């Protein structure tokens, strides 16, 4: 299993949704020109034509989108046909918002499909156009109707609109800009305006540019730097250079920063050490702790990225420095600290290490009700084992209402049938908004009736007070999983915990790198394991068979477990990132650590999240399957330092 292996439900993200022909508005000049293009062939199967239409819309191919949309006048989900007809007229071929979008057609669409997910999707697109053309009157009128508000660039345009009316938005902008991956044109424009209007200082601009550099968004960093006069560019200043160097060689960055100390303020020096600390911690070198200690002494917390602040805690955890753990959490930005229960848990542990038991207990109590990795660990700190809450059941009548009163579920099912999971998930999740716990459980049961177990899990996961953990943690194919787990001595709860994370029980799930099936086994790995266990005549196409997929997946997991000294924590990481990586991470330890500390300090974001989710899942599965209270801490165990040894596992 490679690090990037993912179920198909995470694939592709430029997707859009909709439903019926919109001839009430005349075509724009752009659309008329598109229709004059020489026609291409139209797939005979309407479903194939629809998928091709969606792909043409993603390419912003106006001509092909119109041609295909015209052939789908009777297609069942007509709102999507019309959305895919309109959307390419809002963006150019490079994906940038146009300023000549067909506003009458957009307004007609928004009115016709008011209240549907697809209307919110088009409003998102239109807001980007309105922001780019500085049509603030229309933008301000439409922005409150944007329900999901899940586009950073739109948020930046909303702040820019306020700033251009004379409001001071600097503090809100710093919060919005904390993650540079969604900046786009809108956020760069916002940074430029705030710099020109003296709401942002040079240091603020340098901070935003460095955030982009830390994410290796080099072109974006240069565009941000360009908002300042040429003589004041920040993309080649000392801290930008430190960031570039630290990514590859923290020791080189250290030498450079020390040589430049005289030209930097204390805060700038602190920001530099924070960057070095982050990359040294990710490389698991002992220099990380020293860099972060220097940073804490010098200051500059306001100019540290979220990642630098998080890795400051992780570096202290790995070193067992509880005083520094406490300091690092206390200096986190409040919005970052509140985003993840990890920081309440580790802060509680740091307080407990300082004999501040009442304060520690408050931290644990604040998250112990959450059904996740750190909620479980907090429960154990409060002296409670992990159990499942009482089961709430819903009636058949409540389930049937889901199909009648929520047409988005029907659209989602059609999209899933076309393997358009991103769009399907958007429709399904839209229907879940504002549902009560009983309605969410009914939606979960309805998903099960449709054979959509991933939607069953997704819907049941959202309940707050009334729960059904048999829906959150279903056990399909029980005989198959039990038989194969027993054959290799695996804990079935662990196997189910892994399957839930890998594929959400989507049997035909396929990742972008080719991993497939319930246990998301890579083709080359499958061939290797089949050979090792003596499976005659194995072909990769057999991975779509449930029995074969689970047979090879459990065999591989068992081999990794043996290879990694029966550590469930290490083996879980190895299934995701390859067994060689946890061996290397373990070899850099200077002392035995709790499994929870090892998991939290895994350098790869994906694997870190994966390990925590799988082992949290497994703990609940064990409670469900055995009917007995469980311990996540016992499952995590301890991880001890050990040198790397070669192996033949992929």
Which residues are catalytically annotated? 502
Q: Using CA atoms, how far apart are residues 342 and 367, in angstroms rounded to an integer?
A: 9
Q: Are 125 and 87 in contact (CB under 8 A)?
A: yes
Q: Using CA atoms, how far apart are residues 305 and 179, in angstroms rounded to an integer?
A: 8
Cα angle 93, 97, 102; round to 5: 100
Q: Are 325 and 346 in contact (CB under 8 A)?
A: yes
Tokens 């650590």 — which residue?
Answer: 593
Task: Give how far Cα 637 sits from Cα of 106, 246, 350, 492, 569, Å.
Answer: 57, 33, 20, 18, 8
Q: How far is CA 131 from the centre of its chain?
A: 26
Q: Is 362 exposed, middle or buried (0-12, 13-18, 19+ CB in 10 A)?
A: middle
Intra-chain end-to-end CA distance of the chain, in Å: 8
Q: Using CA atoms, how far apart are residues 480 and 484, in angstroms rounded to an integer?
A: 6
Cα angle 92, 95, 98; round to 5: 45
516 phi, psi to nearest 5 deg: -140, 160
Q: Using CA atoms, how far apart are residues 276 and 238, in angstroms rounded to an integer?
A: 13
Which tokens belong to 14? 């430029």
Which has the closest alpha carbon to 161: 184, 185, 139?
Answer: 139
Long-range contacts of the stretch 62-69 (C-beta < 8 A, 24+) = 62/30, 62/31, 62/33, 62/34, 62/88, 62/89, 63/34, 63/35, 63/37, 64/40, 65/34, 66/31, 66/34, 66/35, 67/35, 67/37, 67/39, 67/40, 67/42, 68/42
Q: How far is CA 84 from the centre of its chain?
A: 25
Q: How far is CA 513 from the centre of its chain?
A: 18
Which tokens belong to 342? 């990890």
Q: How far is CA 503 from the centre of its chain?
A: 15
Tokens 């040079």 — which residue?
Answer: 202
């Amino acid at each position: 299993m490679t690090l990037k292996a993912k179920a198909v439900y995470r694939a592709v993200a430029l997707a859009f949704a909709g439903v019926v022909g919109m001839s009430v508005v005349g075509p724009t000049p752009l659309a008329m020109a598109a229709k004059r293009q020489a026609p291409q062939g139209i797939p005979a199967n309407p479903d194939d034509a629809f998928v091709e239409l969606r792909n043409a819309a993603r390419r912003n191919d106006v001509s092909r989108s119109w041609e295909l949309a015209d052939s789908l006048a009777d297609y069942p989900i007509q709102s999507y046909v019309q959305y895919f007809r309109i959307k390419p007229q809002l963006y150019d071929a490079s994906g940038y918002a146009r300023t000549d979008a067909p506003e009458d057609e957009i307004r007609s669409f928004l009115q016709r499909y008011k209240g549907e997910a697809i209307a919110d999707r088009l409003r998102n697109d239109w807001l980007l156009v309105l922001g780019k053309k500085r049509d603030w009157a229309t933008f301000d009128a439409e922005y409150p109707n944007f329900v999901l508000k899940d586009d950073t660039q739109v948020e930046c345009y909303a702040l820019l609109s306020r700033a251009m009316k004379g409001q001071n938005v600097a503090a809100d902008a710093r919060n919005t800009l904390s993650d540079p991956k969604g900046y786009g044109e809108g956020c760069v424009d916002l940074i430029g305006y705030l710099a020109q209007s003296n709401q942002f200082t040079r240091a603020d601009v340098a901070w935003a540019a460095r955030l982009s550099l830390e994410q290796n968004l080099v072109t974006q960093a240069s565009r941000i730097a360009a908002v300042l006069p040429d003589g004041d560019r920040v993309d080649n200043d000392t801290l930008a250079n430190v960031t570039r160097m630290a990514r590859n060689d923290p020791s080189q960055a250290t030498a450079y920063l020390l040589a430049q100390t005289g030209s930097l303020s204390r805060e700038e020096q602190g920001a530099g050490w924070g960057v070095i600390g982050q990359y040294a911690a990710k490389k698991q070198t002992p220099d990380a702790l020293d860099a972060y200690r220097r940073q804490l002494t010098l200051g500059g917390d306001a100019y540290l990225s979220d990642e630098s602040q998080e890795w400051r805690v992780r570096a202290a955890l790995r070193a067992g420095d509880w005083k520094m753990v406490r300091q690092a959490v206390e200096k986190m930005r409040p919005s970052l600290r509140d985003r993840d229960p990890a920081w309440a848990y580790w802060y509680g542990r740091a307080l407990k290490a300082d004999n501040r038991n009442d304060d520690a207990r408050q931290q644990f109590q604040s998250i112990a009700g959450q059904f996740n990795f750190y909620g479980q660990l907090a429960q154990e700190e409060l002296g409670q084992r992990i159990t499942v809450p009482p089961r709430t059941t819903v009636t058949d009548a409540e389930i049937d209402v889901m199909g009648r009163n929520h047409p988005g579920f029907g659209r989602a099912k059609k999209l899933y049938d076309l393997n358009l999971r991103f769009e399907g998930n958007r429709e399904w999740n839209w229907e879940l908004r504002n549902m009560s716990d009983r309605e969410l459980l009914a939606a979960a049961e309805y998903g099960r009736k449709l054979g959509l177990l991933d939607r069953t899990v997704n819907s049941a996961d959202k309940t707050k007070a009334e729960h059904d953990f048999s829906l959150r943690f279903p056990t399909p194919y029980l005989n198959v999983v039990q038989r194969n787990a027993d054959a290799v001595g695996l804990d079935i709860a662990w196997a189910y915990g892994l399957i839930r994370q890998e594929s959400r029980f989507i049997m035909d799930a396929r990742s972008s790198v080719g991993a497939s099936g319930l246990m998301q086994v890579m083709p080359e790995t499958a061939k290797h394991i089949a050979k090792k266990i003596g499976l005659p005549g194995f072909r990769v196409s057999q991975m779509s068979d449930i029995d074969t997929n689970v047979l090879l997946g459990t065999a591989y997991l068992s081999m990794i477990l043996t290879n990694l000294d029966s550590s469930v924590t290490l083996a879980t990481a190895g299934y995701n990132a390859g067994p060689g990586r946890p061996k290397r991470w373990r070899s850099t330890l200077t002392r035995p650590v709790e499994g929870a500390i090892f998991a939290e300090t895994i350098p790869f974001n994906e694997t870190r999240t994966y390990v925590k989710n799988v082992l949290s899942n497994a703990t609940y599965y064990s409670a469900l399957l055995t009917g007995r209270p469980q311990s996540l801490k016992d499952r995590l165990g301890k991880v001890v330092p050990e040198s790397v040894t070669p192996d033949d596992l992929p």
